[in-house]
Amino acid sequence: MTSFESGEQLWIERLGSLRNVVRQEVVARQIAPLAVRGASVLDVGCGQGTQALRLASSGCQVTAVEPSSELLARCGDAALAQSLELELLQGRIGDLGKLCGDRTFDLVCCHGVMMYLDDWAQAIADMGERVKTGGRASITFRNGDALAMRPGLRGDWAAALAALESTDYTNELGLPAHACTAAEIDVALASAGLRPDAWYGVRVFTDRETADAPPPDPETLALLLDAEERAGATDPYKWVASQLHVVAARLA
């Protein structure tokens, strides 16, 4: 698949958009119970560091891995501004052995990455090796079971029909990407020695908004985020969300 690099600048421009704010905040709330002070965390594909910084502020010992030098620098600058300590490593999932040696972690995060990988199942296996026995992996995927929801809710019937036929798509950064079904994810996790503890949905109500739509006023945003968090943890709503977020335990 096309590297994320060609869409990176547009991604940066949209960091403050409603959809990105919702995604980051809902994921942060969903992993908050795992952010135990002193826990070791590996954030793979950390981007600008939204989750890595939040985990570090909770007292976690965070190692952040990111291939983009610009995004890694943004993460480092934000850590410095907030007086937070993070280990910053430049590289990709396939580089984890070289970057981390034989280290394992209490929590391994990978958010917003799987949809860009040709062999996402192998990536799960590589990350699974970094999870301590009894530790957790937190991974997000574009939801292949609900790929037609966004175009359908927008009234783009041709795109909705296309999404019902294939889980390959072009995203709103103009990049080719792939969505995964819950059944496919379950199989890949089991092969990697990981057992799902919890499934969540991310962006149940707001995914129909344009990619650059700004957040509403603070009071409305607070209510919106509470609704998204609640729906993302509730059947059947979570299964029609734009993204699936799975927290999985490393088996003994």
Alpha helices (H) in the chain, listed in sequence order: 8-13, 18-31, 50-57, 69-81, 96-100, 120-128, 149-154, 157-165, 182-191, 218-232
pLDDT of residue 1: 40
Q: What's the Cα-to-Cα distance from 196 to each of 199, 200, 233, 241, 245, rounded to whole Å? A: 7, 11, 14, 18, 10
The span from the CA of 20 to the CA of 14, in Å, is: 7
Q: At 209, is the secondary structure helix, strand, or coil?
A: coil
The position carrying tokens 């996402």 is: 120
Domain count, the chain: 1
User: Which CATH number do you get for residue 97?
Assistant: 3.40.50.150
What's phi and psi for 7, nearest 5 deg? -110, 5
**Which two tokens mark 27?**
């994921």
Q: At 42, is the secondary structure helix, strand, or coil?
A: strand
Q: pLDDT by residue (tens digit) across 18-69?
A: 999 999 999 999 999 999 999 999 999 999 999 999 999 999 999 999 999 9
Q: Residue 195: which domain range? A: 4-250
Query: Among 39, 29, 80, which residue's Cα sits nearest to residue 59?
Result: 39
DSSP per-residue letters across 105-161? EEEEEE-S-GGG-TTHHHHHHHHHTTEEEEEEEEEEEEBTTSTTHHHHHHT-HHHHH
The span from the CA of 244 to the CA of 142, in Å, is: 6
Q: pLDDT by residue (tens digit) across 158-171?
A: 999 999 999 999 99
Q: pLDDT by residue (tens digit) across 61-110?
A: 999 999 999 999 999 999 999 999 999 999 999 999 999 999 999 999 99
16 within 8 A of 214, measured Cβ to Cβ: yes
pLDDT of residue 5: 83
Q: pLDDT by residue (tens digit) across 207-234?
A: 999 999 999 999 999 999 999 999 999 9
How many other C-beta atoms can be found within 10 angstroms of the C-beta atom of residue 167?
Answer: 18
Percentage of residues in the chain having pLDDT higher than 70: 99
pLDDT of residue 3: 67
Region of 38 (left: φ > 0; alpha: ψ -120 to 50; beta: rest) is: left
Q: pLDDT by residue (tens digit) across 129-154?
A: 999 999 999 999 999 999 999 999 99
